[in-house]
Structure 1
Amino acid sequence: MNRFTLSPNRWYACQFLGDEFDATSLCILAPSPIRIEQVQPLESGERTFQLAFFHANYPQGVQDKEYTLQTIHRGENCLLARSLDHKPPRFLYLTDLTLEWLKHHFPKGRFGDTLSQATLNQLYCLG
């Protein structure tokens, strides 16, 4: 079985789940395209890794993030991980980024009508 793998310099669909995202905010699953900058496995034996990424759906100036994550599930098409840096716990659900995903989560076309890694890099002035 092939397993979902995160690669640097690529965009992914990410949904953040946690207690700070509640029903009153209408955003229990906070979606964002993210661009992976670095993935560094940790030698803990606990399926942990350091993830540095660009958080596109965050205010300008604070979009560069780095989390220590623990893998909960790694399937063929997705990765579910828990942030070890957040209290209350925050979970990340990562999949490949598709135009359909963008249109579903951002129907006003914030990210454009075409999808490519280069288009997103250009939109956010990333190499």
Structure 2
Amino acid sequence: MKFWMKEISYSQVENKIQSGYKELFMIGQFRIVDAYKIIDSNDHTKDIQSHFILDTKTGNNYEISVELAYGLVSAFYCDGDRRSLLSNIIAWVKYMNGKNRLATKKTDISNVLSDVV
């Protein structure tokens, strides 16, 4: 599986949610969002999906891979240990904050998280 997470600006989020979005769940100050943008080209229409962790407290935004989003949704709805899930998301955000980095492998993310995903 391809796990990744990167910090992005609000204008980048706005660009990717032009056609709509759904909040998958909210935990603590974090909204986990599934968004899409429909692009019309000359020969066909394309639907581009994106997934985000939006921090409602700080205003920071993180784009995440679909695999990571699925792991978070599964942990939220199936695992039942929401306190650990919130702690792990907080750890991710602290790891990502201000460093303009891209975590691209599960091992990068596992350095700051327990095995939630």
TM above 0.5 = no
More strand by share: 1
- Structure with the largest fraction of helix: 2
TM-score (norm 1): 0.30
- Larger relative contact order (C-alpha < 8 A, sep ≥ 6)? 2
